[in-house]
Amino acid sequence: MPVCERCGTQWTWKQSIKASWKIHGPMHCPNCKGSQYATPKSRQRMTLINWLILLPLPFAVILDFPLVYTVGMMIGLFAIGLSLIPKFLQLTSEQKALW
């Protein structure tokens, strides 16, 4: 779980998920209200998780999976990705470039 770099408060799973939906700009610590940013490494990891959700699509086309199975796999991967995002989210007090 992410920890505020400013006050040291560990965020809950719910707070982490809510904050991770922000695409740009700061996330605010629920305790000290300080601005926190996702580190470049954690943003790259979260992007990778988002792309993994789409992984069943090429296999569905190549192996001719039924649509129900493909959608089911994507929903399952979405749930797994959602549960992993707070584990990969790391915070910093200053915004850093992705590359």
Collapse the DSSP code of 78 into the 3-class scheme (helix H, G, I; strand E, B; otherwise coil) and give the result.
Answer: helix
pLDDT for residue 54: 86
> Is 70 exceeded by the pLDDT of residue 23?
no
Q: Can you tell me the distance from the alpha carbon of 15 to that of 11, in angstroms, rounded to the nearest whole number?
A: 6
Contact (CB, 8 A) for 4 and 34: yes
Pairing mode of beta strands 91-92, 27-28: unpaired
Residue 25 Ramachandran class (φ > 0 left, ψ -120 to 50 alpha, else beta): left
Phi, psi dihedral angles at 27 (to 5 degrees)? -100, 145
pTM of the model: 0.70
Would you say residue 95 has pLDDT above 70?
Answer: yes
pLDDT digits (tens, 9 = 90+) for 59-69: 888 888 888 98
Confidence of residue 4 (pLDDT cuts 50, 70, 90): confident
